Amino acid sequence: MTTVEGARTVVGAGLDRVEAPLKVTGSAPYPNDFSYPGMVHAALVGSTIAAGRIRRIDASAAQSAPGVLTVITHLTAPQLERGPMTLLGPSPPAPMQDDRILHYGQPVAVVVAASLEQARHAASLVRVEYEPTEALLDVEDPRAEILVDPWGLDTERGDVAAGFAAADAVVEGRYTTPDNTNNPLGLMATIASWHGDSLTVHDSTQWPHNVRNSLAAIFKIPESGIRVLAPYVGGGFGAGLRVWPHTVLTALAAREVRHPVKLVLTRPQMFTSVGHRPNSVQHIKIGVTAAGDLVAIEHRGISSVAMEDDDYEPVSLGSAVAYTCPNVSTRDRQARLNIPCPGSMRAPAEGQGNFALECAIDEAAHAVGMDPLEFRLRNYTEVHPVLGLPWSSKALRECYTRGAERFGWSRRTPETGSMRDGRWLIGYGMAGVSYPFYQVPCQARVSVRRDGSAFVRSAATDIGTGTYTVMTQLAAELLGLDIDRVRFDLGDSDMPYAPQAGGSGLTGALGNALHTACGNLVREFLDIVRDDEASPLRGAGPDDVTTGEGRLYRTDAPDRGESFTDILGRHGLEEISADGRSTPPEAQQLGKATAGAFAAKFVEVRIDPGLGLLRVTRAVSAVDGGRILNEKTAASQIIGGTVGGISQALFEETATDPGTGRIANATFGDYLVPVNADVPDMDVIFCGAPDPASALGTKGVGEIGLVGVAAAIGNAIHHATGRRLRSLPFTIDQLL
């Protein structure tokens, strides 16, 4: 099956978001916009210590407060199963199962009342007496339990010690990154409504099927009895990838009071309830010859993890595959601390690890007097260094050259502090970037109706990445329909299975499933007319036809065809549907290493040395994202990721009080993020070609926009000032 030339232009075009009218008019239904007759409200009570036990909890005043239906504590909560293992690791521990306190803000009670105001007032009346113990809060605390190689991903190749012995120059440093908190603008919310043993949930999730599967295991009911809805989600950045305690407690409360229950987290609770990027301490050492050849890389990382939870964050792993180097060692550890459960935040692991690696690479280039771009090109790897296989596609070299040209890298003078504009020091910095390939199986269903419209659905979510739009475009192209004749729905666990919106894997997985579904649908139509003497498509197979203008044509005779509508009408059918599945490619079957996205980041900074003021004034991102389905939404992802990278580099730090474990800046008034004045001119270039590893040739671009920005800014600071800063965020005091 092929598509006509006119339809091919649908994909790749910078189409406006199809859901934009709903969003800009306030009509898009987010989870906390839903309501049910008789719905009541819940509020959480969080622990005010980080470690210890509950000695006594008195809920009597809360229970007697106006409008209160119930107060649930560990003394009254039923025994709950922990959620199941997921593709992203174990579920968080079940809430309120005993008197132990493992982190500040841990839910110790949930209050349900007729109104939100009544629930929050009653929550303030719950009195808790604690038996505190000393909390472990420092990732380098020698008392902390250390998990060594927690994911079995440590790497070793060659002889690292011999490599350093042979090096003409060795650079090494200690790099630190702080906790960051995801903080989507929309507060995360859950509504739960029971109908007998059936449960309907509206949730701020990036993965409806995971919520369904987890609640089924926790409450011991069939998955078929649970429906999870998330047609619109107010951002996530990874916060919606797990089933957090507040979702479980909302379902529990709804079952207890026999009313639908809504729970909306407060902003401070967002800092303790839905994950965060864990802090890290990294030691990196690089050996290089006088000619600029890498001979040894050693990368050690330790990051924080909660007491009874697990988070996938191998910060050193990217160093194993980034460059040609014969001797490489990467090691990761985790320290168990009394902190809220960490979780994925945009570009998990790579966001931290790339900062250390790319700053150290820059330092190595400086040590041998080589231009940072030339150094990276000299150590470029055409094959996956661990697997020894060529990449399925890699246009990083093109990213380097085109990005440098667009940025004007040739204007950079090599000496530190050599570029000025009046009182401002000017620095140019860059970083090379890769993001791992990630894809899991996915399903989609497509129907064509008698009116000639198509209805496509899958239980995915769109957290602002453009899934609604690009899947509408793709279906329109594959079926040869106009955009306005295609409807794409998502965010419903009753739809065909879809994985999470995260890891830069959804577009590829869902797009390939949709590609298969549309192919199967064409086969269904051809099967119907196989023996139909009235059809000009009689006896045609999928390879014989082309789609376009709402019709199927014989490819070798364009005048011999008929519309989907004609076929359905003649055979008395209202619609025909077909399903499609996608399975991620495997390197050994391809004979190539499956490639994620690659990119080169270039930034300009200006620094006032007298005041320590730092401004990022330009940024260029050159990205190999494979086939780009919508240039506008893809570029928007890179721009948003770049803003996130600037935020990581200059602003974000979740501050934990070392004495109590309290998050000290858990509001938007105290937790700094960029505003418009902090965001520079940005340019995005897409490089490369479709990746032949999949039918669509796409790669994910959601994560790669952030990776490398912090390193490029750090490298630009060094170029401007001669100072090598190794701790994020970069602050005024570090520059004075």
Q: Return the closest-CA partner of residue 707 out of 363, 520, 435.
A: 435
Nearest to 537 by CA among 566, 575, 499, 495: 566
Q: How many CB atoms lie within 10 A of CB 6?
A: 12
- State how far the Cα of 667 lies from the Cα of 205, in Å rounded to an integer: 22
Give the contacts of 360 (CB within 8 A, at least 6 positions apart). 171, 172, 173, 175, 284, 285, 286
352 token code pair: 């931290």
To the nearest 10 degrees (0 to 180), the angle between helices 208-219 and 245-257 is: 50
Residues 6 or more apart from 295 whose CB is under 8 A from it? 163, 164, 166, 167, 287, 288, 289, 325, 326, 327
**Given the residues 313, 477, 604, 703, the one annotated as active site:** 703
Q: Which of 557, 495, 553 is nearest to 522 (CA)?
A: 553
State the DSSP string of 580-625: EEE----HHHHTSB----EEEEEEEEEEETTTTEEEEEEEEEEEE-
DSSP-H helix ranges across 446-505 = 467-479
Nearest of 674, 657, 675, 658 to residue 666 by alpha carbon: 657
DSSP helix/strand/coil, 256: helix
Give the integer Cα–Cα distance in Å for 26 and 532.
49
Q: Are 371 and 335 in contact (CB under 8 A)?
A: no
134 belongs to the catalytic site: no
The DSSP output letter for 32 is G
β-strand pairing of 545-548 with 2-3: parallel
Return the active site residues: 703
